[in-house]
């Protein structure tokens, strides 16, 4: 068994968080800065579970508050996403190595597309943590690598997919969502190893109608992502 750690686990939506909480017994519930915080212990490790909220602003605030208050050794962002590659299927999993912003444009000032002024053009998950999770996931479900792209818009239209491909290339961005970029920035600032787990609730690369797939498969996708997290033997 590994040395005792504090592991913070954030999910954007209640369905995603509930899928994780259902895997743990006797979680204690408290409040902190308007957030509901759930804590549990397993094999001497302390787990902190919370909603990041939807979108980059909510996630930046809440992840930074948790980083400052609980000082986690690891931060995981677990939940659902939309697949951006045509070979992907709903309920596949993405364990990305890279995190990019899809809707930041300061190219007129000489920065790369997706780069916030004065910041990195992209961020990277902890290599060792990500590799372990990727290996576990491959043994359970079809798993993809690549980058996760965060946007303030829900990506579901062919023209949105085409724009991401035009800006970042056809194969670089594997899935799209709204929170991972903020998790990456927060963890980089606080020097916290992090990883992202995303189960595909929809695949906008397949064409129109994926907002309907999202509503239908969110709960099942959330369960898949939680199962990968629970199978990680680094704290079991």
Q: Where do the structural domains in the chain lie, given as residue ranges?
A: 6-223
Residue (of 58, 48, 82, 46) closest to 209 by Cα position: 82
Per-residue pLDDT of 141-184, as tens digits, reads 999 999 999 999 888 888 999 999 999 999 999 999 999 999 99
Per-residue pLDDT of 15-69, as tens digits, reads 888 888 888 878 899 888 888 999 988 888 899 999 888 989 999 999 999 999 9
Cβ count within 10 A of residue 110:
8
**Does pLDDT of 14 surpass 60?**
yes
Residues 6+ apart with CB under 8 A from 131: none
Instruction: Give the CATH fold of the 6-223 domain.
Output: Rossmann fold (3.40.50)
Read off φ and ψ for residue 42, nearest 5 degrees.
-150, 120
* pLDDT for res 222: 83
The average pLDDT across 206-227 equals: 74
Residue (of 96, 104, 83) closest to 205 by Cα position: 83
* pLDDT for res 188: 96
* pLDDT for res 236: 54
* pLDDT confidence band for 102 (50 / 70 / 90): very high
* pLDDT for res 73: 96
The average pLDDT across 185-189 equals: 96
Contact status, residue 104 vs residue 114, Cβ threshold 8 Å? yes
* pLDDT for res 212: 59
* pLDDT for res 31: 87
Q: Which residue has the higher pLDDT, 170 or 217?
A: 170
Q: Which residue has the higher pLDDT, 236 or 100?
A: 100
* pLDDT for res 65: 96
Read off φ and ψ for residue 229, nearest 5 degrees.
-60, -45
The residues that are catalytic are 16, 202
Residue (of 11, 102, 106) closest to 52 by Cα position: 11
């Amino acid at each position: 068994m590994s040395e005792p750690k504090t592991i913070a686990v954030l999910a954007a939506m209640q369905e995603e968080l509930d899928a994780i909480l259902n895997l743990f017994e006797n979680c204690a519930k408290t409040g902190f800065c308007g957030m509901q915080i759930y804590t549990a212990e397993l094999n001497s490790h302390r787990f902190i579970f919370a909603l990041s909220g939807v979108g980059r602003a909510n996630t930046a605030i809440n992840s930074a508050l948790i980083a400052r208050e609980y000082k986690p050794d690891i931060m995981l962002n677990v939940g659902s996403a939309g697949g951006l590659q045509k070979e992907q299927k709903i309920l596949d999993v993405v364990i990305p190595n890279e995190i990019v912003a899809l809707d930041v444009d300061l190219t007129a000032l000489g920065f790369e597309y997706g780069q916030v002024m004065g910041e990195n053009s992209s961020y990277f998950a902890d290599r060792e943590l990500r590799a372990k999770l990727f290996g576990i996931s491959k043994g359970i479900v079809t798993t993809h690598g690549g980058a996760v792209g965060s946007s303030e818009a829900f990506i579901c239209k062919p023209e949105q997919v085409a724009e991401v491909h035009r800006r970042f290339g056809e194969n670089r961005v594997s899935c799209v969502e709204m929170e991972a970029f903020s998790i990456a920035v927060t963890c980089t600032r606080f020097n916290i190893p992090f990883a992202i787990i995303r189960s595909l609730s929809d695949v906008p690369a397949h064409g129109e109608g994926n907002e309907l797939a999202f509503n239908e498969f969110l709960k099942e996708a959330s369960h898949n992502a939680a199962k990968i997290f629970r199978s990680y033997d680094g704290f079991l």
